[in-house]
Each structure stands twice: as C-alpha cells, then as structure tokens.
Amino acid sequence: MATLREKNVLVTGGGRGIGRAIALAFASEGCRVAITGRTQASLDAVAKEIRAKGAKALPLCCDVTRKDEVDALNREIAGEFGGIQILVNNAGMAPAAAFLEMEDRLWNQVLKVNLTGAYHCCKVFLPAMIAAKWGRIINIASTVAKVAYPYIAAYTASKHGLLGLTRALAIEMARTGVTVNAICPGYVETELTLGNAARMAEKTGKEVEEVLKLFKSATPQNRLIAPEEVADLAVMLASESTGGITGQAINVDGGAVMV
C-alpha cells in the first residue's frame, strides 16, 4: 500500500472515541492531522498523543453545524498545513428518545450535527481536492444507515441521509480523483456506547453490564468493536491503492448486518 506520509488529514469529532482512534492511526502513517470538536481540553490531549508519534497535530474547536466556523477552520488549517487531502466526517451525536416523546429541538440538532455538519465540511474542503485531482472523503456512518432500531429515529434518519450523501457525492466526484466512502460501525467500545448503555439501563431497570451483553449478543461475533478496527479501515480507504473504491458503505460490526 502506497504511503500516506505527509498527507493532510482532518478528523471531525476527533477528541474521543472513534475520532481519536482515527486521528492516531493517520498519525502513525506520518500524516499531518487536524482534529476538531467542541472541547479544547480533549482535543489538546489527543494532539499530545499525535505528537508523541512524531506527527504534526492541529487541535481546533469548531461547531460543524455552522458554515462560518467551518470556513474559518479551512483558513486556519490552510495556513498551517495547506489544503486538506483526506477528510473524515466523524462528528456525531446519538441521543435516545421514543419518537412521540422526542422534542423537535432534539430532532433538528441530531440532523444538523450528523448530516448537515458533514455537508458543510464536504462543501468547504472539496474544492482543494478537486483542484489537486486527488482526495479522500470518509464518512463515519453506522449500521443504522442500513437498518433501523427503536428509540433512535433521529439518529437513524441522519445516518441514512449521510449514506445517501456519500453515494450521490461519489457519483459526482467519480472523474475528479476524489473518492467518497462510508464506514458503518456497529456497537463500538466507546464512551458514547457506554453512555447509551447506562441510559438504557436506567430506563429498563437493568444493570449496565446486562445491557452491554445485549449489545454484544446482537453480533455473531458476540463482542463490541474496537475503535482501532474502524480506524484501520479509514486508513485503508484513504490510501493510494484504493482509488477504485468509491460510493461504498463498509460495515465493521462483527457480522451483525450483512447488507
């Protein structure tokens, strides 16, 4: 696989969980890595880990739901690294609520973060990729982009939308040298998953460990996915040798969804 050394990467939602693992994986490849999120302390901690690998890091707070902040982010990264060549849209939220009890505010916020945020980043960072005749966009979706579960209607709708955006953009970019793909993780061992398990336990009267066992039993492999497994696939999709892979939605879910 051709080297990614000195490629410029942006990982949104890079301060924890899957985003952190992806940022560190690209750092291990010798990339310059910009990470965004809403908590500077978390970003700074990940940036320290990136630099410990000998890679350059740029931790920047940014609300991807605001186009003006993404524009400012682009200018700041360009000043430090030059144009972004690899964009990983990972910022997301996954609150649970019964549909009839869900507030409109929650619905709108989930779609803004999970779908509109990715739209903003693609819109802002794509022109430089097209001009360079090379680029990689990797959208972190979910298995719920292909199936559905109760109590997460907003999350499910947003990830279905992200998968649609991935495919439509892949077709438009097909002759530009830019590939666009989605990764669809199942239950990943992150703070987000553990938090969801705790909330479900509270609502159902179960212990958190019982809920986690239910999550694991939903997969043939009977386990949670490690964030690093998602990160390794992101690095592969960004490589020079995978230029023929575009418009795809690849599951990393222990065999839970075979679609």
State pLDDT tens for residues 214-226: 999 989 999 999 9
pLDDT at 170 over 60: yes
Which domains are delineated in the chain? 8-186+227-251 (3.40.50.720), 188-224 (no CATH)
pLDDT at 242 over 60: yes
Q: What is the mean pLDDT of residues 151-166?
A: 97
Model pLDDT, residue 34: 99
SS3 content of the chain, % helix, strand, coil (to 5): 50, 15, 35
pLDDT at 35 over 60: yes
Nearest to 60 by CA among 86, 31, 81: 81
Q: How does the average pLDDT of the chain come out, rounded?
A: 96
Bridge partners (DSSP) listed for residue 32: 8
Write down the pTM of the prediction: 0.96
* Residue carrying the six token digits 């292909």: 146
Q: Would you call 155 a catalytic residue per the annotation?
A: yes
Model pLDDT, residue 204: 83
How far is Cα 58 from Cα 46, in angstroms, rounded to an integer? 10
Model pLDDT, residue 38: 95
Q: What is the mean pLDDT of residues 140-145?
A: 98
- The catalytically annotated residue of 119, 151, 155, 187 is 155
% of the chain exceeding 70 in pLDDT: 99
Q: What are the backbone angles phi and psi of residue 90, rounded to the nearest 5°?
A: -115, -15
How far is Cα 112 from Cα 106, in angstroms, rounded to an integer? 10
> Which helix (H) or strand (E) is 58 found in, with range?
strand 57-61
Q: What is the mean pLDDT of residues 218-238?
A: 97
> Which helix (H) or strand (E) is 50 found in, with range?
helix 40-52
- Residue 226's Cβ-count burial label (10 Å; 0-12, 13-18, 19+) is middle
pLDDT at 24 over 90: yes
